[in-house]
Structure 1
Amino acid sequence: MPEPSRPALDEIRLVVRDRYGAAARAVETGAATGGGCCGGAQVSPLVVTAYDPDALRDLPQEAVLAALGCGNPTALAALKPGEIVLDLGSGGGIDVLLSARRVGPTGFAYGLDMTDEMLELAERNRQQAGIENARFLKGHIEEIPLPDASVDVIISNCVINLSGDKDRVLREAWRVLRPSGRFAVADIVVRGRLLPPVRQSLSAWSACVGGALSEEEYREKLAAAGFIDISVEATRELTLDELMGDCCGGGGADLQALTTLQAEHGTLISAFIRARKP
């Protein structure tokens, strides 16, 4: 069955940038509602369950409020002292700051994001946390501004699904990883298929739904990029209205109907995806 048409890469980038810029401004003004990929409370429920509460208490509150992911890639990656880490789509910086602490003063953590407001928020959080071994870079995850074979670990938290060119993202990830480097991300995947109205919706893309790959597609794309030791581990089932309700005015009858219909064709899942560069 041919894949349903999807929005163009530039359209996707624009709506994602607008949404996450607004999320950063909401944190700055005290109006944050957790309205990113996963959540509609003050702090995303997935953030509350994914992270060690003691680790979160040591971070600036703004870094926690801006956490809009679907897992904890810093724990998934099993980071070691001295490693160089890159977070794709670093947002308010929560995973970069945690990574910098895990790798210690002999290691380093980079965060890459395309949204100015998130980069500014992340840098303020870094300074407030007193972390020196971290840096935030502006750019696209399809064009990573780092040299070949320059990092040991790539992490990402519910961001790769936001890209309209995932093959390019994974090729870039492979390029910047050193030999034996690890790829360890949390992301949304679909078991089954996404309905065309979901795949074609810009709101669905910005809510981490429209661009979700199937488990098989993720494995195939990672293998095509050159990765080995690939695994996809489901962690939690999610519903369409959980992911899209906040960005669509709280949902409504149309979204509820689409949620029911989507559930008949495919299940949305937060997952851990692991792989390794030979």
Structure 2
Amino acid sequence: MTSAGPGEVQTGGAKEVQALYTELALHPEKDFGWGKGKENARTLDYDPAWLERLPDSVWASAAAVGNPFLLGPIRRGETVVDLGCGAGVDLCIAALLVGDEGQAIGIDFTPAMVVKAKDNVRLTGLSNVAIYAGDIASVPLEDASIDVVISNASINLLTDKACVFNEIFRILRPGGRLQFADMVKDASVESAVSARSASWADCVAGTVEPDSYLKMLEDAGFRQVEFVSFTGYRTAATTIGACFRALKP
């Protein structure tokens, strides 16, 4: 397995994104203007058992915008990939769900988050986790090798979102599932976009409407494509968290 080099990253505003998420990794106590940490996860209905099982420090740099684990079961023995794994909370949860017979693989392009995720995995004592630095638009995994792909607030950060869905389709086995949460445009809000709202790093500038994601998923070959719900999470007045799922035939 190889990692994508810095020049290959397809993230919009890449320097801005890396700077912000480096700050989140190193200084999680800072107020970034949007929800994070254990209380945010509780608001998003993360299982109380996970909130107890994982140390508080593991949750500190987590900025979930939704809960991909509400979108379908993850079974023991499966192989799960978390694209844009950040500090590794969802990755650790996936590792707990698949058990020692399965594997959880995380990919993130911010070096400080990769380090943080590895540190967090060590704190949990989990041994069925692998974490790699790389570009989620060019995933360093073999064709048809993965049972489930999850993601949380990462796909909106990329300029070529269709490429990400094509990559996910490629690495999933037939019958494999995609379950992800992301920020989308809130079409019900008609307000001027402030300078801060134009930020790629705050999951605003790269957002698209839910229907755009559904079309990209269908174009990539997915079936049973579904926009499940809004989550209520916001990074700006014009954006809102949303959950999606899809199946590879």
Give yes or no for TM over 0.5.
Answer: yes
Does the CA contact (< 8 Å) of 1:35 and 1:68 recur in 2? no
| Residues 68, 150 of structure 2: 8 Å contact kept | yes
Partner secondary structure for residue 73 of structure 2: coil
Amino acid at match of 2:41: V
Contact 1:77 1:153 in 2 (8 A): no
The Cα shift of 1:167 comes to 0.8
Q: TM-score, normalised by structure 2?
A: 0.87
1:111 and 1:135 in contact (8 A); partners too:
yes
Matched with 2:61 is 66
**Paired position in structure 1 for 2:21:** 20
Give TM-score scaled by structure 1 length. Answer: 0.79
- Are residues 1:243 and 2:229 paired? no
Percent of matched pairs sharing the same residue: 35
Q: What are the superposed Cα offsets for residues 183-210 of structure 1, whole Å, 9 maximum, x if unpaired?
A: 0001112242898975997852211111
Equivalents in 1 of 2:146, 2:227: separation in Å? 22
Q: Which residue does 2:210 correspond to in 1?
A: 215
Contact kept? 1:153, 1:177, Cα under 8 Å: yes
1:45-101 Cα deviation digits (max 9, x unpaired): 532222123312211222201111111213424100110000010011000100001
2 CA distance for matches of 1:71 and 1:47? 8
Alignment partners' CA distance in 1, 2:27 and 2:133: 20
| CA displacement at 1:104 relative to structure 2 | 0.6
Larger helix percent: 1
Alignment of 1:120-131 (within 5 A): 120-131=115-126
Contact 1:83 1:103 in 2 (8 A): yes
Report what 1:253 is aligned to.
none
Aligned-pair Cα RMSD in Å: 2.5
User: Separation in 1 of the partners of 2:39 and 2:72?
Assistant: 21
Within a 5 Å distance, the mapping from 1:25-64 to structure 2 comes to 25-27=26-28, 32-33=29-30, 35=32, 38-39=34-35, 43=37, 45-50=39-44, 51-64=46-59
Contact 1:34 1:65 survives alignment (8 Å): no
Number of matched pairs = 240
Q: 1:161 to 1:11 in 2, by over 3 A?
A: closer
Contact 2:66 2:231 in 1 (8 A): no
- 1:269 matched to which residue of 2? 240
| Equivalent position of 1:250 in the other structure | none
For structure 1, which runs of at least 5 residues remain unmatched after alignment?
Answer: 1-7, 245-258, 263-267
